[in-house]
Chains A and B, each alone.
Chain A
Amino acid sequence: MVDVALKAEQLAKIYGSRRAGAQVDALSDVSLTLTRGKTFGVVGESGCGKSTLARLLVGLEAPTSGSLAINGEQVHLKAKGDNRTLARKIQLVFQDPFSSLDPRMTVQRALKEILRVHGLHRDDLDGRIRELLSMVGLAARFAERYPHELSGGQAQRVAIARALAVEPEVLVLDEPTSALDVSVRAEIINLLVRIQDELELTYLFISHDLSMVRHISDEIAVMYLGRVVEAGRYDQVFETPLHPYTLALEQAIPVPDPEHERTRKVLSEAPAHVQVAKATAGCPYAPRCPLAEPICGEVAPVLQEKSDGHRVSCHVALRH
């Protein structure tokens, strides 16, 4: 049987008031199952709801509806107040380490603070800090440093160490390499893979960088305007994409190979500048979709299994 670390069901988040008519469905009916020790990748462009998803999972915001279970235990998601129980199980690493670390706190103080907040300060606090730093590949001397004395890669390591301090089950990584220099991205990715294997951690890896998501994830969900439009094993999603949006995303990846560039160009002419502010009755991707049929404008497709766990939400793809 599959060992499930996290199960989210029908998560939805609506911003704005119904009365004012200014509602935004940031997230609609998103269900995810994260297998223990595996990486679940979420890809999508800005505004697709991937960061809202991250914020709901770690309890920074409460969903409008839906449920969350960690290790089979239902978690109560509340809007305000103490979410510490949740924070012990699931931690978030942000994109920009410099804006998520307090510039006036040394690395040591930042780590001590989280341990204290969660009542985890043991006798050998300094030893624990050394241990956390070594886990992320930093020497003990970094404990004395302030964020401005760290490089981008080092600061992100500290942010990861801080997330690991509470020994969480799940780590939500929201674009963890996007703010870093190209030459240090690989080392953060390698570090994440190593820590995962050592600690049997479960990752939710959120990124717009498809080649990174493909590299690190076991399973992938593609999001578009607050919905999951395709999900499956990484090889299913990347080698046999079913949704036209996934296909468009893949074709847009800049590949560092001029030969490949010359042979590309099949389907990149979707009218991307059409911004759909409000979900219409039909498929949210229909206005941009090259395969759209009359039914797509009228009936919204639902996520259904096409083959062997590979799911897609598209009338056309499901028929073929």
Chain B
Amino acid sequence: MSNPLLSIRDLHVGLPHRRRTDEIVRGVSIDVAPGEKLGIVGESGSGKTLTMLAVVRLLATPPLAVLKGEVMLDGEDLLKVDERRLRAVRGGEIAMVYQDPMSSLNPLLHIGSQIEEALRAHGASSDDAKRRTREVLQQVGLADPERVRTSYPHQLSGGMIQRVMIAMALSTSPRVLIADEPTTALDVTIQRQILELVTSLQAETGMAVLWVTHDLGVVASLVDQVVVMYAGRIVEKASTHRLFERPSHPYTAALLESLPGLGTAHRSALHQIGGTPPDPTRLSAGCPFRLRCSYAIEKCAHEEPELIDRGDGSAAACWRDPAQW
């Protein structure tokens, strides 16, 4: 793998209290190379969103805090840079698109002026900002970019707004795009278009993309590499193909089995995982998945496994080799 563009190393995020600290993200390491497409999959409470917020230092601090770790962007630790530099990085080198696009825009301003504002904040002249705004609105495939530019958010549909958000994120030609469930609020056909749009833009610009999602289907179609998170940790890392072909962690395997696929018999019982995702602030010793796991052994109750190599660039945090399942 070429040198990582963005490298998250041993990141810990938590809620410090007076006497103890609840750790919510417990040692996450992720490397992303230029042009790479990485999927981060996890359910609510798995720590995927907190990890991404910590990368751009948008955690609500306090109460949350980064307890430990580094976020290296091309050799520069973003957790150490000053506010000024940080403002240049956010929305500049690293752009973000969030789940609920309607709440990310100012309802009182035209779309155009909001994109221009972002560009000017990153040093573009007034004329350049205007020109670039027209350009990106065109790029994201909006039918009538000129009308969109002079519209207020409420005058546009959800799909159009999400395109606007992507246009805004792309306007500064970022090197990394973080998309946190950008399509969950959208309908399937529109979802599909947004996904294809980002993929085609990525092919043109070579930016790295991190897709954060709970939907394995989205991941299958979009990314080369997948990281699966559970209870604040990475439990499996693999190429997309390998993950779907031969999952190495019982959680991933169970998730895949629980989806009604093309081969699932009509109205047959779907595979249930049982139990519920654990509260990450109340974890006991051992593997946090063990209570829901069909393959748990004695050791799982005492010791939490680290990521163990499973060959073909795949790794899983599980004491048991899939061959023994």
User: Hey, which bits of chain A sit against chain B, CB under 8 A?
Assistant: 45-46, 151-154, 181-187, 189-190, 193, 208, 210-212, 214-216, 234-235, 248-249, 251-258, 260-261, 268, 270-275
User: Hey, which bits of chain B sit against chain A, CB under 8 A?
Assistant: 43-44, 141-143, 157-160, 163, 187-193, 196, 214-221, 240-241, 244, 254-256, 258-262, 264, 266-267, 269-274, 276-277, 292
Contact check, A272 vs B244: say whether CB atoms are below 8 A apart. Answer: no
Point out the residues of chain A lying under 8 angstroms from B191, CB to CB.
252, 254
Contact check, B260 vs A212: say whether CB atoms are below 8 A apart. Answer: yes
Contact check, B266 vs A253: say whether CB atoms are below 8 A apart. Answer: no
The CA of A154 and the CA of B276, in the complex, are separated in Å by 9
Contact check, B244 vs A182: say whether CB atoms are below 8 A apart. Answer: no
Most buried by B among A212, A252, A273: A273
Point out the residues of chain B lying under 8 angstroms from A211, CB to CB.
259-261
Contact check, B270 vs A215: say whether CB atoms are below 8 A apart. Answer: yes
Contact check, A256 vs B269: say whether CB atoms are below 8 A apart. Answer: no
Contact check, B189 vs A256: say whether CB atoms are below 8 A apart. Answer: no
Contact check, B142 vs A258: say whether CB atoms are below 8 A apart. Answer: no
Point out the residues of chain A lying under 8 angstroms from B159, CB to CB.
272-273
Contact check, A214 vs B220: say whether CB atoms are below 8 A apart. Answer: no
Contact check, B269 vs A273: say whether CB atoms are below 8 A apart. Answer: no
Known contacts A45-B189, A272-B189; is-contact A182 B214 (Cβ 8 Å):
yes
Point out the residues of chain B lying under 8 angstroms from A154, CB to CB.
276
The CA of A284 and the CA of B54, in the complex, are separated in Å by 46
Contact check, A183 vs B221: say whether CB atoms are below 8 A apart. Answer: no
Q: Which residue of A lies closest to B215 (CB)?
A: A254
Known contacts A208-B187, A268-B189, A273-B190; is-contact A257 B260 (Cβ 8 Å):
no
Point out the residues of chain B lying under 8 angstroms from A253, CB to CB.
188, 217
Point out the residues of chain A lying under 8 angstroms from B192, CB to CB.
251-252, 254, 268
Contact check, A273 vs B258: say whether CB atoms are below 8 A apart. Answer: no
Contact check, A254 vs B218: say whether CB atoms are below 8 A apart. Answer: yes
The CA of A285 and the CA of B219, in the complex, are separated in Å by 30
Contact check, B158 vs A183: say whether CB atoms are below 8 A apart. Answer: no
Give the shortest distance, in Å, between B166 (CB) and chain A (any CB).
13
Point out the residues of chain A lying under 8 angstroms from B261, CB to CB.
211, 255-257
The CA of A167 and the CA of B157, in the complex, are separated in Å by 40
Residue from A185, A249, A261 within 8 A of B188 (CB atoms): A249
Point out the residues of chain B lying under 8 angstroms from A153, CB to CB.
276
The CA of A274 and the CA of B274, in the complex, are separated in Å by 42
The CA of A96 and the CA of B77, in the complex, are separated in Å by 40
